[in-house]
């Protein structure tokens, strides 16, 4: 947790933003509750709601808070433990002392929340879209028929999007742990073992040094499946392995890196050719990332670079700008260049992808690829985003395009057939937008150029 002044300042900034937007009434913030996996006492791993963590910081289940926009009064709602709880959980700090630790003067038992909201009748109650069903049901009970507050969502997004120095430090730390986890993974790749063995080792790092992984690990020789969570395959020589994984630190900030490795330690010529294109796109995106540019423009510039590389290999042909405009890059990269990152690996997407990732004057495209761009905004210092281009050969998608005559003037379908067993490549770094440009987060960059990757794998195999 940060110092109490951090949470007090954030809550004051939230209320000021709402006042400036002409809003009044109450803000209701809900922490998460435990979620049973099978029976009540066997729960999924505990994870607090991220907006709650941002404004209140208390990492305990079944807490709520009400902030009065007009008077500034704040009340924390939760129950003190009783003797039954103490038997199972040990003694716990009182709710009042926890409230004081985050600068809230008044506290009450959890059930008093309902009375507090009833007493506020006639006043507007602002709340965020709940990320968990427990809170969906709670809100339906407390405030039947009331919808989440767009002014509150916008105020929260505007604060959380621009990372404070202490948050950047926390994300740098999560990236340091991510670096360590990915290094263990890369050094463990050996044909003959099961993918799961690597997953176990790398997630061990995340658990030993942080809260755990920031999302379910993607580790697969079928990189063409963008989010492949199956890890049962035996590692075969000559394949490509995509590892997309991140650590969530004990402070609950995320990292999210992707690297793609040749399982034999050396790329084949064909693999290296495609890898080089993805690497060039990643480098280009970073070089273009600076305040004032939109990430949509950066996405489109990398799409053009990708098509230029694929054109040189004879996989597509035609005018590059027309191919970009016609969405041909989406056949090879059916996802966006990146997303926001912070307390969530896809930061705040529970508040609405478009509200988080798009400026009011931007429209989300429908095209494959560009339509999945989760962060399109005009960049500002303090944005933390991912730079993750990829090229994937997805036989079913290529066949669909071919059958429907899509891109028939551009795409060399017969040549593409020899890539049906290729898999996919993605390369991802986490990037902070600075006053003058951008900085990759973390103490060191994971080996990424084809030569660096081969050298790192050779060094691991010599040890």
Please provide the DSSP assignment of 123-173 as one string: S-EEEPPPSSHHHHHHHHHHSTTPPPPHHHHHHHHHHHHS--HHHHHHHHH
- Per DSSP, the chain holds a count of helices (H) and strands (E) of 17, 15
Minimum distance of ligand GLY from residue 338's CB (angstroms): 8
Residues 6+ apart with CB under 8 A from 131: 32, 49, 50, 350
Residues of span 205-234 touching ligand GLY by CB under 6 A: 215
Minimum distance of ligand GLY from residue 228's CB (angstroms): 11
Residue 162 has a CB neighbour count (10 Å cut-off) of 15
| CB closer to ligand GLY out of 130 and 246 | 246
In whole angstroms, how far apart are CA 456 and each of 207, 371, 390, 448, 459? 24, 36, 21, 10, 5
Tokens standing for residue 371: 């339509």
| CB closer to ligand GLY out of 113 and 176 | 176
* The pairing of beta strand 106-108 with beta strand 125-127: unpaired
In whole angstroms, how far apart are CA 229 and each of 77, 208, 217? 38, 22, 7
Residues 6+ apart with CB under 8 A from 88: none
Q: Are 48 and 211 in contact (CB under 8 A)?
A: no
Residue 376: Cβ-neighbour burial (10 angstroms; 0-12, 13-18, 19+) = buried
Minimum distance of ligand GLY from residue 7's CB (angstroms): 28
| CB closer to ligand GLY out of 75 and 441 | 441
Strand order across the beta sheet in which 26-30 lies: 106-108, 74-77, 64-68, 26-30, 125-127
Minimum distance of ligand GLY from residue 215's CB (angstroms): 6
Residues of span 322-351 touching ligand GLY by CB under 6 A: 339
Minimum distance of ligand GLY from residue 368's CB (angstroms): 17
Minimum distance of ligand GLY from residue 346's CB (angstroms): 6
- The reply on whether position 256 binds ligand GLY by CB under 6 A is yes
Q: Which of 23, 49, 244, 251 binds ligand GLY (CB under 6 A)?
A: 244
| CB closer to ligand GLY out of 178 and 265 | 178
In whole angstroms, how far apart are CA 175 and each of 182, 206, 212, 247, 255? 10, 11, 13, 7, 5
Minimum distance of ligand GLY from residue 136's CB (angstroms): 23
Minimum distance of ligand GLY from residue 104's CB (angstroms): 34
At 56, phi and psi to the nearest 5? -120, -40
Minimum distance of ligand GLY from residue 372's CB (angstroms): 10
| CB closer to ligand GLY out of 30 and 198 | 198
- The reply on whether position 286 binds ligand GLY by CB under 6 A is no
Residues of span 348-367 touching ligand GLY by CB under 6 A: none
| CB closer to ligand GLY out of 48 and 255 | 255
Report the distance separating Cα 269 and Cα 69, nearest Å. Answer: 62
| CB closer to ligand GLY out of 64 and 245 | 245
72-84 burial: b if 16+ Cβ within 10 Å, else e: eebbbbbeebeee
| CB closer to ligand GLY out of 263 and 372 | 372
| CB closer to ligand GLY out of 109 and 227 | 227
Residues of span 386-405 touching ligand GLY by CB under 6 A: none
Report the distance separating Cα 356 and Cα 347, nearest Å. Answer: 8
72: left (phi > 0), else alpha (psi -120 to 50), else beta?
A: left
Tokens standing for residue 210: 């942080």
The number of residues that bind ligand GLY (CB under 6 A) is 4
Residues of span 33-72 touching ligand GLY by CB under 6 A: none
| CB closer to ligand GLY out of 107 and 214 | 214
Minimum distance of ligand GLY from residue 341's CB (angstroms): 9
**Site for ligand GLY, rule CB under 6 A:** 215, 244, 256, 339
């Amino acid at each position: 947790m940060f110092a109490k002044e951090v949470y007090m300042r954030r809550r004051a900034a939230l209320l000021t933003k709402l006042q400036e937007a002409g809003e009044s009434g109450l803000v209701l913030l809900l922490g998460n509750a435990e979620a049973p996996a099978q029976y009540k006492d066997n729960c999924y791993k505990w994870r607090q709601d991220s907006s709650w963590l941002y404004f209140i910081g208390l990492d305990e289940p079944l807490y709520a808070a009400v902030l009065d926009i007009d008077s500034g009064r704040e009340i924390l709602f939760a129950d003190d433990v009783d003797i039954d709880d103490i038997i199972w959980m040990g003694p716990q700090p009182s709710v009042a002392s926890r409230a004081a630790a985050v600068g809230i003067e008044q506290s009450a038992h959890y059930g008093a929340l309902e009375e507090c909201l009833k007493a506020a009748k006639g006043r507007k109650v602002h709340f965020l879209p709940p990320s968990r069903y427990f809170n969906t049901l709670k809100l339906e009970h407390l405030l039947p028929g009331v919808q989440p507050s767009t002014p509150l969502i916008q105020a929260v997004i505007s604060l959380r999007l621009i990372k404070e120095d202490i948050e950047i430090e926390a994300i740098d730390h999560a990236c340091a742990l991510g670096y360590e986890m990915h290094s263990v993974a890369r050094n463990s790749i050996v044909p003959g073992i099961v993918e799961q063995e690597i997953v176990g080792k790398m997630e061990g790092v995340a658990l030993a040094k942080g809260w755990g992984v920031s999302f379910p690990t993607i580790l697969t020789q079928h990189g063409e499946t963008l989010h492949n969570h199956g890890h049962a395959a035996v590692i075969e020589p000559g394949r490509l392995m995509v590892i997309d994984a991140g650590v969530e630190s004990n402070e609950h900030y995320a990292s999210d890196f992707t690297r793609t490795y040749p399982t034999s330690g050396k790329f084949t010529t064909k693999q290296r050719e495609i890898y080089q294109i993805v690497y060039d796109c990643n480098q280009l995106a970073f070089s273009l990332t600076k305040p004032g540019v939109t990430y949509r423009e950066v996405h489109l510039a990398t799409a053009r670079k990708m098509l230029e590389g694929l054109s040189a290999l004879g996989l597509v042909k035609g005018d590059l700008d027309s191919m970009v405009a016609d969405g041909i890059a989406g056949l090879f990269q059916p996802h966006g260049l990146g997303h926001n990152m912070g307390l969530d690996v896809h930061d705040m997407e529970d508040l609405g992808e478009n509200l988080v990732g798009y400026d009011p004057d931007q429209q989300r495209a429908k095209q494959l690829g560009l339509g999945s761009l989760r962060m399109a905004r005009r960049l500002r210092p303090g944005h933390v985003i991912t730079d993750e281009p990829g090229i994937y050969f997805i036989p079913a998608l290529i066949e669909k395009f071919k059958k429907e005559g899509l891109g028939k003037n551009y795409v060399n379908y017969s040549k593409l057939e020899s890539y049906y067993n290729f898999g996919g490549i993605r390369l991802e770094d986490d990037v902070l937008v600075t006053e003058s440009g951008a900085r990759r987060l973390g103490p060191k960059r994971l080996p990424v150029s084809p030569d660096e990757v081969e050298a790192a794998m050779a060094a691991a195999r010599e040890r």
